[in-house]
Amino acid sequence: MILTVTLNTALDITYRVRELRPHGTHRVSEVSERPGGKGLNVARVLAALGHEVTVTGFVGGSTGRAVQDQLTGTPGVLDALVPVSGATRRTTAIVDESSGDTTQLNEPGPTVASAEWSAFQEAYESLLLGVSAVALCGSLPPGVPVGAYAGLVRTARGAGVPVLLDTGGEPLRRGVAARPDIVKPNADELAELTGSHDPSRATRDARRRGARTVVASLGAGGLLAATPEGTWHATPPARMRGNPTGAGDSAVAGLLSGLVERLPWPDRLARAVALSAATVLAPVAGEFDRAAYQELLGRVAVTGDATAA
């Protein structure tokens, strides 16, 4: 069992329009709703890969009920979300079919009371007892301490559970210092953390700050990994056009599944890049084009040096 944590869960709403024009009125050609937030996207991809997943985090209000109702019908995903008095946020993606570009609108999320945060921490400790890995994903809702992820990393490490952290800003800086097994920042988050815009230098610096392994997402440039076993760069065979929402979450699913399956790092990275690219080709976050994934997996280029750590 794998555990994913999404403190700021969401109901993801995707609109497709023929062409997005500022100040204009648009007819929506298609609309879809899915449980969202980074960890829930990760969970659905992991389940599609055949892993059993428990999801936790906060959920509340009518939007939260819609999230839980849809999770009920997701094979392989167990709902362990913790209720709060506020309403779960919505995120809206508008896909411009003429260009393939996506515009994203994200609400901030409910304010979490101190008693609700304490209840979550107790639930989290209990859930760690039966899992093989945990992913801590996404932004913090209002009211949650900025050092929340650092505490959750330390709790997982104390329970002997490998932990992956995927966040940004000050929560990432504090979380890295708690020594997670893997962090997966994007290029901007990594530069903000280290002050360096050179990904190779920045990944090494992030490891010195406490992370055992750093896997940097470089967008169309793939993934760059600095690990205790070596450094590798995995790149997709071509730039994908489509909806990039959730592509990074699919990469996290690839890394986590590779971790629990004990795959070598080059194989983990190839899976993560292929899943990420196949997600761009899917209509909504938390899904991937299965045929494209299988085809891309054998075409991902992985270069590196197993002695360069």
Active site residues: 249
- d(Cα 244, Cα 246) in Å, to the nearest integer? 6
Q: Which two tokens stand for residue 227?
A: 């690990």
Maximal C-alpha separation, the chain:
57
Instruction: For residue 58, give the nearest of 128, 139, 158 by alpha carbon.
Output: 139
Q: For residue 81, what are the CA distances in angstroms to 95, 117, 264, 279?
A: 29, 12, 32, 25
- d(Cα 168, Cα 188) in Å, to the nearest integer? 9
Q: Is 299 helix (H, G, I), strand (E, B) or coil?
A: coil
- Angle of helix 169-177 relative to helix 187-194, nearest 10 degrees, comes to 70
Scan for tokens 């062409």, then name that residue.
Answer: 19
- What are the backbone angles phi and psi of residue 118, rounded to the nearest 5°? -65, -40
CA-derived radius of gyration, the chain: 18
- d(Cα 176, Cα 214) in Å, to the nearest integer? 10
Do residues 167 and 138 touch, judged by C-beta distance below 8 A? Answer: yes
